[in-house]
Copies of this chain bind each other. A is one copy, B any other.
């Protein structure tokens, strides 16, 4: 079924729907990846899709097994100067201090208040244990529905400091095209993020077309309980269930999906094991890494390839060398992406 039969109007729409339902490849009428420049990265994606979805191909993958996983921060959207969820945590501190004024003079809450008053340098005082304490205080202890409403409100109001746009608009257009292209070819797309599972689920559907059940992230436990009038609800607990980073990514994929992905996309050391696990499966497998080498249109950091070092989304030379050795494809933002944002 290489071409669509000539149908008009409503039946054409039906026929197309049926083709997608049956998981048959739909011949691209137009370029599925218009924001990509021609090159090895774009070619690898198109060839992977054709190899795994064309009936009769030796590398054909049955529709039910078509799983593709995407890291979020730095892979699907901007992660500099700081992960959006960390901004959420910091910007939630004033409301917390308002409710518990005694925290205003206690570190790390006091440090965060300094940062928010404009002392950006104070951010470097925050250690990992500080961030964990802040995360526990702002992300746990409340009903799930309360957290969801608060995160939704913040996302609607907060703006990225450089582009002055909501964080959810800072997604990479080329990656949005990859998500849609894979889905149009029967792939189920998942986010597999070190970020908080509950946080990302608040906007994943609107931002990426990915429903909550296809978001795997760092997850805490919840506790089932009752309101005074007997209505059941879940409370977010400060108990880590899954640290979805590094080896936690393939472990989380097994827990939540139970199958090995055919394609995986990341951009930093935290994604290494997911790419390795994906690529080591049988048949055609695609592992890709986004390299932030475009200081002008976005940011430049590595330290791979002599780019500036960064604690946020580190991409060391060792990861670059391993990618070369293992056949993982590195995407150069500068060279491979014609456009980065839809608002450009």
A-side residues, CB < 8 A to B, are 7, 11, 13-18, 20-22, 64, 67, 144, 188, 197-198, 201, 205, 211-213, 215, 219, 221-224, 231-232, 234, 241-242, 247, 250-251, 254-259, 273, 276-277, 280
Contacts and interface: CB of A to CB of B under 8 A. Distances in A.
- Copies of this chain, how many? 2
Contact of A258 (B212, B241, B255): B212
Chain A interface SS verdict (over half): helix
B64 A211 contact: yes
A273 B213 contact: no
In this complex, which of A67, A215, A258, A259 has the most chain B Cβ atoms within 10 angstroms of its Cβ? A258
B14 A258 contact: no
Contacts of A254: 144, 222, 234
Contacts of A16: 18
Nearest to A7: B11
Contact of A213 (B14, B205, B259, B280): B259
Given A18-B13, A219-B255, A234-B254, A273 B205 contact: no
Contact of A280 (B20, B232, B259): B232
Given A11-B15, A241-B255, 7 more contacts: A14-B15, A212-B258, A212-B259, A213-B257, A213-B259, A232-B250, A232-B276
Contacts of A223: 247, 251
A16 B21 CA distance: 10
Given A223-B251, A247-B224, A251-B234, A22 B17 contact: yes
B258 A198 contact: yes
A19 to B, nearest CB: 8
